[in-house]
Structure 1
Amino acid sequence: MATTPIMILLFIGYIIFTIDKKKENFPVPLILIVVGIGLSFIPYFSSIEVTKDMIYHVFLPGLLFTSAYRFSPNALKRNAGIISFLATIGIMLTVLFLGWTIYVVSGLFVSLSLVGSMLIAAMLTPTDPVSIVSILKKSSGDEMMADVVEGESLINDGTSIVIFTVILSIFLHDKTFSIRSFLGEFLFVSIGGMLIGLVFGWLFSKAIHITHHKEYQVMLSIVLAYGIFNTAEHFGVSGVLATVFAGIMLSFEFNRSLQEDHFRESLDGFWSVVEISILSLLFLLIGVESTSYLAFDYWVLASLIFVASLLVRFLIIAGATQTFPVWRHTINWRESLLLSWSGLKGSMSVFLILNLQAQEAQGTELILSLTFAAVLLSLVVQSIGIHPLSKKLLNRG
């Protein structure tokens, strides 16, 4: 992408972040997407090409690292059980039940294969609550809800890529699904990414003592965020999980030392700017890119898929939390509904969509349009609804 469009998009993002005064009801990312859709009708912007590599290797590492090192170690300890469940078993069950639901419902409109339906479900399972976590904390006053939503999203990105890759291989090459091979690949990719992230995160937390210059320490954090991502991908394991666990390890190590407050301030100063810059570009580009997919005749089906994704997620969360006593006393049906609503789709879903598009396989046009439409509905409806819903369900304000 040329430099000039990037600068223009960043300036638009700056304007929107600056003038927006109603973040509770209209989250900035939603406004950015709407503006992006409008920009797509201007020839200068409609020619912008958004690639999967751009999102995966440029945007995601920075966003993941920022969220991970800021995530409270104490919050992770307190909610490790429910976060781990939702990001692993929960996401697998979601793909299974949502895929089957899409297959059944789509029969009323168009012919979709079961594997194609599972592929849509796999692209809709990763959550991206970056735009609503702060809203959730302010409107509900419940830190635990926000911590679970944020913690789940950090880990389930890696899980979703593995599931998507397996289903995509079956879709493209007509392979037979094997639970044994799937679990083997899942464990290798996931555990490998986690271990690399933990090791390098620990090494980095020690390496900052080599120099006391804040600028050099921040430079080292850039190397960690992007270097560990690409190193893990080079070895065939999850770069997403490597970056996430490197950030989490960094947070754990710094949480144990009061001497690192100045480093946290420097880190926050740099990565906060990076985060809002990436978010501005990302959501504007999602809006620009989505327009070409949205001119199709199956919006009713896309809406039903979106509703089904919410319903399936709620049933899995409510079922799990009510089945296990350890969660039953802390998460009731109202909080289960709020957790379900908070799992809106975003950058990872768009990356998976662009990944499928890059395959240039026959019969994917409808799958791409249905998925992109469902993602857009999720971003619009769920982000607008999170504030009033949390107020109503948790009886706050």
Structure 2
Amino acid sequence: MIDALAILVVAAAMFAYINERLVRLPMTIGVAAIALTFSLICISLESLDIVSFRAPITRWISSLDFSRLLLNGMLSFLLFAGALQVDGGKLKQYGWQVGFLAIVSTATSAVLIGVATYLTLNAVHLNLPFTYCLVFGSVVAPTDAVSVLGTLRRATVPSNVETAIAGESLFNDGVGIVLFAIFAQLAVSDKVPSITSVAGQFCHEAIGGIFLGGLIGMLILILLRGIDHYQVEVLLTVAAVIGGYAVAEYLGVSGPLAMVVAGALVGNIGREHAMSHVTRANLDTFWELIDGTLNAVLFTLIGLEAVAMRADLRAWMVMPATIAIVLSARVLTVGLPVALMSQVFKLPARTAPLMVWAGLRGGISVALALSLPAGRERDLILLLTYGNVIFSTFAQGLSIEWFARRTYAQAE
């Protein structure tokens, strides 16, 4: 495992270097593009019977256990780092809007995607049980905070719009993971749980995660106010992430939601009332480095996952349809409410298309799909998920800055 991680970090560093020297794309997208190109070269060389790198690379990726590495390791750091930068005052002003988008829109989108995918796959005789279609919906419905936050840093958007998009992406990760756990349990279980038990499980994980995150954040704030030593204070935030996520796992509540709440508290109240200027500067630098490094590693893994993609030809043919389904579901559950009730949401109606296009999917979706039990259903869901992530990363990720400039230039 250590050797595999060493190779991964070296590969991520080399891809980032090549991107900086030659490709000059935004780092995460550039790293993913180079890793994906490398994967396609390996696949081509094997298909031409020149040399086979595919099998050893697939074994190496399997030894890394992408799903566990991201969901139980990297994700907590990435969400905490992202939440540190969110404007707490603005987030409070847009609390119910973020809550609606993160909970209602995400849950509705997951169901719509599941139903539409079920009908589409049946039309081409790729039968996938309805419960697994709901699993697919829960995998691709939430936007990926890692991808979205990185994109927003490059796009010039009004602060209220940025808060709404960033807040939604941070919180709907946790909501999506809770939905995935519920639908995955439905898919593999012979028993059909009652609506009350499903709602109870959702509330336990989601509300429990938010409450735990509040406790962790307040505890760190108390500790930070008692000292003025930036090395110790940075270490306390690292301990909060590692220890807090472990406690969340033990209690059976949402670790991602806990990290978002804790990060937002430390990044706002802590930054204002419990840190010196030196501590703030060093804390920001440390977490910016963590965020950048883990992003490079994560998108390297996303690009290299192409090597392991194997599925029925019909699955490849239906992939564009699922991309259209996912985008359509976001139009209906995010774009339409914002456009029709712009005054209620306190967001300009012209923001609706931008919020739809800013709904990027990323490594969390791939990790959730990989965590399913091995079998035909997992292979199909993984391929369709990967197609949506690649489209999101390149088509949406590369054009969102232009989209944002065009949206707000027209308004001026």
Asked if these proteins are the same fold (TM beyond 0.5), I'd say yes
- Other-structure match for 2:47: none
Contact kept? 1:27, 1:131, Cα under 8 Å: no
- Other-structure match for 2:344: 327
Which amino acid in the other structure matches residue 359 of structure 2?
G
- Other-structure match for 1:391: 405
Q: 1:147 aligns with which of 163, 168, 175?
A: 163
Which amino acid in the other structure matches residue 105 of structure 1?
T
Superposed, 1:176-187 pairs within 5 Å as 176-187=192-203
- Other-structure match for 2:101: 86
In the alignment, structure 1 residue 198 sits paired with structure 2 residue 214: yes
Cα shift at 1:258: 7.7
Which has the larger displacement, 269-278 or 286-295? 286-295
Contact kept? 2:369, 2:381, Cα under 8 Å: no
Which amino acid in the other structure matches residue 76 of structure 2?
P
Q: 1:277 aligns with which of 281, 293, 303?
A: 293
Which amino acid in the other structure matches residue 317 of structure 1?
V
Cα shift at 1:106: 1.9
Q: 1 CA distance for matches of 2:127 and 2:203? A: 34
Superposed, 1:1-397 pairs within 5 Å as 1=1, 2=3, 3-16=5-18, 18-19=20-21, 22=24, 26-40=25-39, 41=42, 42=53, 45-49=57-61, 50-51=64-65, 52-109=67-124, 110-133=126-149, 135-136=151-152, 138-257=154-273, 260-293=276-309, 296-297=312-313, 298-322=315-339, 324=341, 326-327=343-344, 330-332=347-349, 334-356=350-372, 359-361=373-375, 363-395=377-409
Task: Give 5+ residue unaligned stretches, structure 1.
Answer: none
Which amino acid in the other structure matches residue 213 of structure 1?
H
Contact kept? 1:338, 1:389, Cα under 8 Å: yes
Q: 2 CA distance for matches of 1:7 and 1:130? A: 18
Report 1 or 2 for greater relative contact order, CA contacts < 8 Å, sequence distance ≥ 6: 1
Q: 1 CA distance for matches of 2:76 and 2:194? A: 31
Identity between Structure 1 and Structure 2 (%) = 25
Closer, same or farther: CA 74–60 of 1 in aligned 2, 3 Å: same
Q: 1 CA distance for matches of 2:388 and 2:151? A: 22
Contact kept? 1:88, 1:156, Cα under 8 Å: yes
Q: 2 CA distance for matches of 1:10 and 1:368? A: 23
Closer, same or farther: CA 191–141 of 1 in aligned 2, 3 Å: closer
Cα shift at 1:321: 2.5
Closer, same or farther: CA 140–221 of 1 in aligned 2, 3 Å: closer
The count of aligned residue pairs is 391
Which amino acid in the other structure matches residue 327 of structure 1?
V
- Other-structure match for 2:48: none
| Per-residue CA distance 1:341-366 (angstroms, 9 max, x = gap) | 1011012212211111xx22453322
Q: 1 CA distance for matches of 2:353 and 2:311? A: 32
| Per-residue CA distance 1:283-327 (angstroms, 9 max, x = gap) | 101111233225641223111111111111111123322554643
The alignment partner of 1:343 has SS state of coil
Contact kept? 1:27, 1:383, Cα under 8 Å: no
Which has the larger displacement, 69-78 or 323-332? 323-332
Cα shift at 1:392: 2.8
Cα shift at 1:123: 0.6
Closer, same or farther: CA 183–217 of 1 in aligned 2, 3 Å: same
Q: 2 CA distance for matches of 1:325 and 1:27? A: 32
The alignment partner of 2:384 has SS state of helix
Q: 1 CA distance for matches of 2:22 and 2:104? A: 38
Q: 2 CA distance for matches of 1:368 and 1:330? A: 35
Contact kept? 2:16, 2:30, Cα under 8 Å: no
Q: 2 CA distance for matches of 1:20 and 1:305? A: 33
Closer, same or farther: CA 253–328 of 1 in aligned 2, 3 Å: closer
Contact kept? 1:103, 1:117, Cα under 8 Å: yes
Scaled by the length of structure 1, the TM-score of the pair is: 0.91
Closer, same or farther: CA 335–294 of 1 in aligned 2, 3 Å: farther
Cα shift at 1:139: 3.9
| Per-residue CA distance 1:111-170 (angstroms, 9 max, x = gap) | 233222211111101211534545446544322222212111111111111111111111
Q: 1 CA distance for matches of 2:305 and 2:279? A: 38
Which amino acid in the other structure matches residue 386 of structure 2?
F
Closer, same or farther: CA 216–345 of 1 in aligned 2, 3 Å: same
Contact kept? 2:77, 2:241, Cα under 8 Å: yes
Root mean square deviation, CA, Å: 2.4
Closer, same or farther: CA 173–232 of 1 in aligned 2, 3 Å: same
Q: 1 CA distance for matches of 2:386 and 2:150? A: 25
